[in-house]
Structure 1
Amino acid sequence: MPVFTATLKHSGTTNGVRYEKGMSVQVVSQTTSNPLTVNGGKPVIDAFMRMYGIDIKKAGLVSSAYVEVRLG
């Protein structure tokens, strides 16, 4: 199973959610597809909630413009 690393590209506060550039999480996937585009980004959203307690969906960050996803 591939492991992806999702990293925030920017710092800021949106909709009351504070986030910092460089925050990153690891996501294990069943497929080789980008986990940000699978199932509405739920694996990445859940990982940020679990690791940092922030809701990147509420902050509107579920996009490749805000999150860099790399294999490995």
Structure 2
Amino acid sequence: MNKGSLSTTGSRMRLKHNAYLYDENGNRSNSLILNSGSIIQTHGSKQINGQTYYAVDTGEYINTKNIEDNWIG
């Protein structure tokens, strides 16, 4: 994955909704669904098609709308 200006240190975040993973073009990358309440490691954010996504360890992206606000992990 070409991370560009993404952070390499990362942050732990918790999902507030079930969530799909997306590729660098904003397309669903597979049929895997991450469950609500899961803790994920993120590595910066990226704008894709006008929406903000967080990069995750697999080189895929998750929409920021699926992340729980004000959770500190």
TM over 0.5, yes or no? no
Q: Which interval holds the TM-score relative to the shorter structure?
A: 0.3 to 0.5
Greater RCO (CA < 8 Å, at least 6 residues apart): 1
Q: Which protein is richer in helix relative to its size? A: 1
Q: Which protein is richer in strand relative to its size? A: 2
Using the size of structure 1 for normalisation, the TM-score is 0.40
